[in-house]
């Protein structure tokens, strides 16, 4: 049984390998063929900037020094040469490797909504707090004692400056 | 043998830290001062014990003891002595020990202070320091033993063990794997200690806050004691962040200084809450308000410090699953949970005692604007926190891994940063207690007009980019307001004391370090903002493969490729490849030669890209050597960035550190100052 499965896998692997080899040689041939009109590094990097390979975390594809990322960049160049648009190329990588290759989560609403709501909630609480804190002073006319209490102690430095001024006199 | 000794001392340090906690609690509850004193001495003992442990580890690192797994992983024979020493914090186990060692230094320092006027805090400060330290030493003792040795068992497997397994022999590799080359840069050598210093020193204000909550002495005594600690903590954390940015710019070879990497954000989050704390404690000192909030902020900062260490140390960032597999991840998580719940529980328990002493009277008063500042800092913090945990949530809930990269953070935080800048322009002009639109308007119209003029000039001469112009307007506003405030103070002194204006500036700063240190920090932030606006909005780049004698052009600069050479340095275990390129301006004048490099480290099999940089105030030409043909040298790939205004960022960073040092510099003993002032008053009256 086990042997059988292994056999089947080998059977399956061989044509796949051939297919890959064929594809690679075709790609290479195409590269040679299209040598003149090959997209520039800048065009490649412009797209690679927004992509992340699954291995090199936090390093955008355009600056990642690893061999694997170099191959990805060549793949982008290839697809550009084939006339694919930026969106199509990005979509290709997403289909192949998942949404994590993009620099932002595809569901923008979910990623922005939570911090925005949290911030608005904070702002709401703060302003409600302001109104609550300030009201009593605004409504009740301050009695003499309260007025005395609400005199704000001056800043240290102003106090010191005034002291010094007095000394001069 | 010596490694076992190191481990033994580490275990003793762990037990001593635990003892100090138990003795402090028991001694305080049973009213036995001798026991509390014993706890204090135990706390003092942890530092020599951990120093001894660290000494053993350093001995092993320096003397190539590769049978010790940690030494094998972070050093190699070709590394120079100083790198073998700094390899101490180049790996997981060592950096945890480094954390504990710094922590013990700080707790020892704090237990040595004079406790006459606040003896009641002492046992609880020991408890918080001791618990934190025991937790970190425990990580080393139970999970990440830096002294674990490699043993080969009879079936041929080699693994690290604390105790020798049966039927095994010690395995000593002939050489180590060597430190990650990225960590061999001078910036990276100082950056982690700075960050860790910042992390551990924020534990001290937290310890006092908890002591204040437990003892019920909830006046602002704890804030006054820990003010300088918090400022120094902030200094170290800021220096760590700035150095990290500079390191990234010089070593990572992507032409930037900050990539919104979760590891960076891990250190940035406690900085955000710490900055909010430094501002809001002033409200409590001046007006006796918002005591709950200050407590919450310092608790948040403490737990973000632990969370930051957890993020960088547990592997949670690469995947939720690697987190579940790591032994220390869940423990960190539990520790954060327990400390957070306990601390917040204490605030709720003391809720009534923390009521404000005065009332808010105006929405434009200084205290109200400080609260707005806190809201904005918290907003940025929420964005950062959400960005870091969003991939984890996504992986847990939908199984889909996502990346949250710079575009998210930039879009979400830039309006908040802009609002902070606006606030930085307004708040220094508002008064404590009461300000109105009228008083503020009267103070601000001149600087605002000045800023508008500056912006108009820039619009005609430099850029029409609307975001940049808004940014530059805010920068100009803050700088003018700050200088205006500074100038007013100095002029007043000049008039009253008859001092030369420069002396007046100097004395003004000396007399109120926190205020004017703060203003210098605001100014430095604006210099940094200029650099950030420049590089974020106007950075251009190009990449091309050229032969010797060929040129690349970018943004008015021409880069001419002269030569490339490659050679080995067997002593250092590195291969260097260095290109020489000439930089010309648009009139064809030679500006200088640059030497972009690619270093390849044999032991770790990793390359490192060192840019060639031509810096000026206007911009910086930043050339990277990407790829070359070793044989014919005919096709070499360069990447060139022109980073406008980026050097303002570095100047700002330096000024920033100067500003914090001014603010944090210890004041003269208040009593001695009064005596001297008295004497001076006496002399003046005698002279009259």
Of B404, B434, B489, the CB nearest to A105: B404
Q: What percent of chain A has pLDDT over 70?
A: 57
B196: left (phi over 0), alpha (psi -120 to 50) or beta: alpha
Which two structure tokens, joined as six digits, stand for B385? 């926190």
B379–chain A nearest CA distance, Å: 5
Tell me the per-residue pLDDT of B612-633, one tens digit each, with 9 for 90 and over.
999 999 999 999 998 887 776 6
Q: Enumerate residues 45 to 64 of chain A having a beta carbon within 8 A of any beta carbon in chain B.
A: 45, 50, 52, 54, 57-60, 63
pLDDT of residue A157: 61
Pick A112 or B670 by higher pLDDT: A112
B569/B171 Cα distance (integer angstroms) = 29
- Give the ranges where B170-318 is alpha helix by DSSP (H): 186-201, 203-215, 221-247, 262-287, 291-313
> Hey, are the CB atoms on B362 and A134 less than 8 Å from each other?
yes
Burial of B136 (0-12, 13-18, 19+ CB in 10 A): buried
Is residue B32 pLDDT above 50, yes or no?
yes
> To 5 degrees, how large is the angle CA A29–CA A30–CA A34?
120
Is residue B178 pLDDT above 60, yes or no?
yes
Tell me the per-residue pLDDT of B446-460, one tens digit each, with 9 for 90 and over.
999 999 999 999 999
Q: Enumerate residues 144 to 163 of chain A having a beta carbon within 8 A of any beta carbon in chain B.
A: 149-150, 152-153, 155-157, 160-161
> Hey, are the CB atoms on A41 and B545 less than 8 Å from each other?
yes
pLDDT of residue A24: 53
Average pLDDT of chain B is: 88
| Residue A46 and residue A73 in contact, taking contact as beta carbons nearer than 8 Å | no
pLDDT of residue B45: 96
Is residue A20 pLDDT above 60, yes or no?
no
Interface size between A and B, measured as CB pairs under 8 A: 147
> Hey, are the CB atoms on B512 and A156 less than 8 Å from each other?
yes
pLDDT of residue B191: 85
Q: Enumerate residues 109 to 148 of chain A having a beta carbon within 8 A of any beta carbon in chain B.
A: 111-112, 114-116, 118-119, 122-123, 126, 130, 133-134, 136-137
Residues of B in contact with A101 (CB under 8 A): 403
Average pLDDT of chain A is: 72
Average pLDDT over residues B175-200: 84
B408–chain A nearest CA distance, Å: 6
Is residue B328 pLDDT above 60, yes or no?
yes
Going by pLDDT thresholds of 50, 70 and 90, the confidence category of residue A163 is low
Please give the C-alpha separations between residue B629 and each of B565, B582, B667, in angstroms, as whole numbers.
Answer: 11, 20, 61
Residues of A in contact with B432 (CB under 8 A): 152-153, 155
Is residue A162 pLDDT above 70, yes or no?
no
Residues of A in contact with B375 (CB under 8 A): 119, 122-123, 126
Of A54, A116, A160, the CB nearest to B511: A160
Long-range contacts of A121-126 (CB under 8 A, 24+ apart): A122/B375, A122/B378, A122/B379, A122/B382, A123/B375, A126/B371, A126/B372, A126/B375
Average pLDDT over residues B593-600: 93
Q: Among B13-17, B209-213, B569-573, which is the least confidently predicted range?
A: B569-573
> Hey, are the CB atoms on A168 and B259 less than 8 Å from each other?
no
In A, minimum Cα distance to B404 occurs at: A104
pLDDT of residue B319: 56
| Residue B276 and residue B374 in contact, taking contact as beta carbons nearer than 8 Å | yes
Going by pLDDT thresholds of 50, 70 and 90, the confidence category of residue B687 is very low
In A, minimum Cα distance to B283 occurs at: A155
pLDDT of residue B508: 84
Tell me the per-residue pLDDT of A83-97, one tens digit each, with 9 for 90 and over.
999 999 999 999 998
* Complex ipTM: 0.81
pLDDT of residue B520: 93
CB atoms closer than 10 angstroms to residue A134:
17
A73/A51 Cα distance (integer angstroms) = 10
B359–chain A nearest CA distance, Å: 6
pLDDT of residue A4: 43
Residues of B in contact with A164 (CB under 8 A): 496-497
In B, minimum Cα distance to A128 occurs at: B363
Q: SS3 for B540?
A: strand
Is residue B418 pLDDT above 80, yes or no?
yes
Average pLDDT over residues A79-85: 93
Residue of B402, B427, B638 to mutate, testing the A interface (most A Cβ within 10 Å of its Cβ)? B402
> Hey, are the CB atoms on A104 and B382 less than 8 Å from each other?
no
pLDDT of residue B69: 93
Tell me the per-residue pLDDT of B539-596, one tens digit each, with 9 for 90 and over.
999 999 999 999 999 999 999 999 999 999 888 888 999 999 999 999 999 999 999 9
Pick B312 or B118 by higher pLDDT: B118
In B, minimum Cα distance to A130 occurs at: B363
Tell me the per-residue pLDDT of B357-406, one tens digit each, with 9 for 90 and over.
777 777 788 888 999 999 999 999 999 999 999 988 888 888 888 889 89
Residues of A in contact with B407 (CB under 8 A): 50, 103-104
Residue of A43, A63, A141, A147 to mutate, testing the B interface (most B Cβ within 10 Å of its Cβ)? A63
Residues of B in contact with A165 (CB under 8 A): 496
pLDDT of residue B165: 86
Average pLDDT over residues B145-152: 93
Is residue A33 pLDDT above 60, yes or no?
no
Pairing of strands B557-569, B590-594: unpaired
Residues 6+ apart with CB under 8 A from B600: B574, B575, B577, B606, B607, B608
Phi, psi dihedral angles at B614 (to 5 degrees): -120, 105
Pick B673 or B332 by higher pLDDT: B332
Is residue B4 pLDDT above 50, yes or no?
yes
pLDDT of residue A138: 44
pLDDT of residue B676: 46
> Hey, are the CB atoms on B386 and A115 less than 8 Å from each other?
yes
> Hey, are the CB atoms on A134 and B361 less than 8 Å from each other?
yes
Going by pLDDT thresholds of 50, 70 and 90, the confidence category of residue B129 is very high
Q: Among B28-42, B426-440, B579-593, which is the least confidently predicted range?
A: B426-440
Average pLDDT over residues B238-258: 86
Average pLDDT over residues A18-38: 53
In B, minimum Cα distance to A125 occurs at: B375
B428/B412 Cα distance (integer angstroms) = 26
Q: Which residues of B36-65 are buried (b: 16+ CB within 10 A; e: fewer)?
A: bebbbebbbbbbebbebbbebbbebbeebb
pLDDT of residue B218: 80
Q: Among A17-21, B40-44, B64-68, which is the least confidently predicted range?
A: A17-21
Going by pLDDT thresholds of 50, 70 and 90, the confidence category of residue B683 is very low
pLDDT of residue A135: 55
> Hey, are the CB atoms on A42 and B542 less than 8 Å from each other?
yes
Average pLDDT over residues B480-492: 89
Average pLDDT over residues B644-672: 84
Any chain B CB within 8 A of the CB of A38? no
Residues of B in contact with A157 (CB under 8 A): 489, 511-512, 515
Average pLDDT over residues B505-523: 88
Which two structure tokens, joined as six digits, stand for A116? 């925005």
B407/B428 Cα distance (integer angstroms) = 32
Tell me the per-residue pLDDT of B356-369, one tens digit each, with 9 for 90 and over.
877 777 778 888 89
Average pLDDT over residues B343-349: 93
> Hey, are the CB atoms on A57 and B253 less than 8 Å from each other?
no
| Residue B433 and residue B379 in contact, taking contact as beta carbons nearer than 8 Å | no
Q: What percent of chain B has pLDDT over 70?
A: 95
Going by pLDDT thresholds of 50, 70 and 90, the confidence category of residue B343 is very high
> Hey, are the CB atoms on B390 and A155 less than 8 Å from each other?
no
Which two structure tokens, joined as six digits, stand for B194? 């700075």
Average pLDDT over residues B193-209: 93
Of B379, B394, B431, the CB nearest to A122: B379
Which two structure tokens, joined as six digits, stand for B295? 């407590």
pLDDT of residue B392: 86
Is residue A34 pLDDT above 90, yes or no?
no
B434/B444 Cα distance (integer angstroms) = 16
* Cα–Cα nearest to B206, from B193, B225, B187, B188: B225
């Amino acid at each position: 049984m086990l042997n059988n499965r292994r056999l089947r896998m080998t059977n399956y692997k061989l044509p796949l390998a051939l297919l890959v080899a064929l594809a690679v040689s075709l790609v290479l041939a195409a590269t040679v063929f299209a040598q003149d009109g090959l997209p520039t590094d800048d065009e490649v990097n412009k797209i690679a900037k927004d992509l992340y390979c699954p291995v090199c975390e936090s390093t955008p594809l355009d600056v990642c020094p690893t061999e694997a990322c170099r191959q990805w960049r060549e793949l982008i160049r290839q697809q550009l040469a084939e006339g694919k648009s930026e969106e199509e190329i990005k979509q290709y990588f997403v289909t192949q490797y998942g949404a994590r290759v993009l620099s932002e989560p595809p569901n923008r609403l979910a990623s922005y909504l939570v911090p925005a709501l949290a911030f608005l909630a904070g702002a709401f609480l703060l302003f409600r707090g302001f109104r609550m804190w300030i009201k009593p002073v605004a409504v009740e006319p301050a009695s003499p004692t309260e007025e005395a209490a609400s005199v704000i102690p001056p800043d240290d430095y102003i106090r010191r400056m005034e002291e010094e001024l007095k000394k001069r006199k | 043998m010596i490694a076992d000794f190191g481990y033994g001392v580490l275990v003793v340090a762990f037990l001593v830290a635990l003892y100090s906690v138990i003795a402090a609690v028991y001694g305080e509850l049973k009213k036995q001062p001798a026991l509390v004193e014993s706890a204090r001495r135990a706390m003092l003992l942890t530092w020599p014990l951990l120093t001894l442990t660290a000494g053993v580890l350093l001995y092993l690192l320096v003397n190539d003891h590769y049978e010790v797994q940690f030494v094998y992983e972070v050093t190699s024979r070709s590394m120079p002595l100083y790198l073998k020493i700094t390899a101490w914090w180049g790996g997981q186990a060592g950096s945890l020990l480094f954390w504990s060692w710094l922590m013990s230094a700080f707790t020892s320092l704090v237990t040595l202070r004079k406790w006459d006027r606040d003896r009641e805090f002492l046992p609880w400060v020991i408890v918080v320091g001791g618990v934190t330290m025991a937790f970190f030493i425990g990580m080393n003792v139970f999970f990440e033993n830096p002294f674990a040795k490699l043993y080969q068992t009879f079936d041929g497997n080699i693994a690290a063990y604390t105790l020798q397994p049966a039927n095994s022999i010690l395995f000593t590799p002939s050489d180590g794997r060597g430190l990650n080359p990225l960590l061999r840069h001078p910036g990276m050598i100082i950056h982690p200690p700075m960050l860790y210093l910042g992390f551990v020193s924020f534990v001290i204000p937290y310890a006092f806050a908890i002591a204040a909550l437990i003892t019920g002495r909830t006046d602002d005594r704890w804030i006054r004691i820990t003010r300088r600690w918090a400022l120094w903590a902030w200094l170290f954390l800021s220096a760590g962040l700035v150095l990290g940015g500079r390191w990234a710019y010089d070593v990572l070879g992507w032409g930037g200084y900050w990539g919104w990497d979760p590891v960076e954000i891990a250190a940035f989050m406690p900085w955000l809450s710490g900055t909010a704390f430094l501002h809001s404690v002033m409200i409590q000192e001046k007006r006796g308000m918002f005591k709950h909030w200050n407590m919450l902020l310092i608790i948040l900062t403490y737990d973000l410090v632990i969370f930051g260490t957890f993020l960088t140390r547990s592997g949670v960032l690469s995947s939720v699953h690697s987190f579940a597999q790591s032994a220390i991840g869940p423990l960190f998580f539990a520790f954060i949970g327990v400390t957070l719940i306990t601390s917040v529980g204490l605030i709720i328990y003391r809720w009534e005692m923390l009521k404000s002493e005065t009332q808010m009277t105006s929405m434009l008063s200084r205290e109200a604007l400080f609260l707005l500042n806190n809201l904005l800092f918290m907003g940025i913090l929420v964005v950062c926190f959400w960005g870091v945990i969003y991939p984890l949530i996504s992986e847990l809930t939908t199984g889909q891994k996502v990346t949250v990269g710079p575009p998210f953070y930039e879009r979400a935080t830039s309006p908040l940063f802009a609002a902070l800048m606006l606030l930085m322009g307004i708040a220094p002009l508002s008064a404590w207690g009461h300000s109105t639109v009228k008083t503020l308007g009267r103070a601000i119209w001149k600087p605002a007009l000045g800023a508008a003029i500056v912006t108009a000039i820039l619009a005609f001469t430099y850029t029409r980019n609307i975001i940049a112009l808004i940014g530059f307007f805010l920068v100009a506003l803050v700088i003018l307001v700050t200088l205006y405030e500074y100038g007013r103070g100095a002029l007043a002194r000049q008039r009253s004391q008859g001092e030369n204006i420069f002396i007046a500036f100097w004395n003004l700063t000396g007399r109120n370090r926190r205020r004017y240190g703060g203003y210098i920090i605001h100014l430095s932030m604006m210099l940094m903002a200029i650099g950030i606006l420049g590089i974020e909005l106007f950075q251009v780049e190009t990449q091309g493969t050229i032969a010797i004698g060929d040129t690349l052009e970018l943004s008015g600069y021409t880069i001419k490729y002269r030569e490339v050479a490659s050679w080995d340095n067997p002593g250092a275990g590195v291969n260097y490849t260095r290109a020489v390129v000439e930089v010309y301006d648009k009139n064809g004048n030679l500006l200088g030669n640059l030497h972009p490099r690619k270093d390849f480290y044999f032991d770790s099999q990793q390359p490192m890209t060192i840019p060639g940089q031509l810096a000026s105030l206007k911009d910086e030409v930043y050339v990277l050597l990407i790829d070359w043909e070793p044989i014919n040298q005919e096709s070499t790939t360069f990447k060139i960035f022109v980073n406008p205004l980026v050097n303002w960022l570095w100047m700002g960073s330096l000024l920033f550190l100067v500003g914090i040092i001014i603010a944090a510099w210890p004041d003269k003993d208040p009593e001695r100052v009064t005596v001297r002032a008295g004497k001076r008053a006496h002399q003046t009256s005698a002279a009259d």
